[in-house]
Amino acid sequence: MRLKIVTVGEPVLRRPTVRLSKKQLLSSSIQDLIEHMRETVRDAPGVGLAAPQIGESLQLAVIEDKAEYHKLLSKVELKERGRKPVPFHVLANPTLELLTEPTEIFFEGCLSLPGFTALVPRAKRVRVTCLDHRGASRVIEASGWYARILQHEIDHLNGLLYIDQMETHSFSSLENFARHWKNRSPHRPC
């Protein structure tokens, strides 16, 4: 079942979320929610979806960066971003540790801000401690685009959106991004 994705302005996107106990995480209702979130992010399509984006104030997110999503990018762009396929997985109750300063600047979008994009500085490397969908403890060390996705989704769980950290001069509709920014270095203004 595809869930409705809420958009910017909905209060749930700005609230901190509630931690899940292992018992709650393993409950049929949360396991069903995870499956619905998987279907929703794939259908969107997107690379991540946090529970607040579907109206649930829970510390829960799903991530998947399929190889098919990379087909629109050149080898140079993939290398520049450090982007590689990431299999589907769940983050519950994640804590984020930045292993580098947030100096990597690339355009980001968000399913809760459809039609827009902006340059956002992020850490190149991160460590995330969380529970997986089975309630097992997991430590993820990530770099490149995967690190960016983790930061973006965990921000959602803390009531933050990419627009809170974006370089404001770069905020653009997707149409204008394609016209004015797509073939430019993110470090060179229009």
Count the residues in the chain.
190
The verdict on whether 167 is a catalytic residue reads no
Q: Following DSSP, what letter does each residue of 120-170 receive, concatenated?
A: EEE-SEEEEEEE-TTS-EEEEEEEHHHHHHHHHHHHHHTT--GGGTS-GGG
From the list 56, 64, 108, 153, the catalytic residue is 153
The whole-angstrom separation of Cα 147 and Cα 124 is 6
Alpha-carbon distances of 125 from 50, 145, 146, 170, 180, rounded to whole Å: 20, 9, 9, 23, 29
Alpha-carbon distances of 188 from 23, 80, 166, rounded to whole Å: 50, 15, 15
Cβ neighbours for 70, distance < 8 A, ≥ 6 positions apart: 78, 83, 85
Residues annotated as catalytic are 153
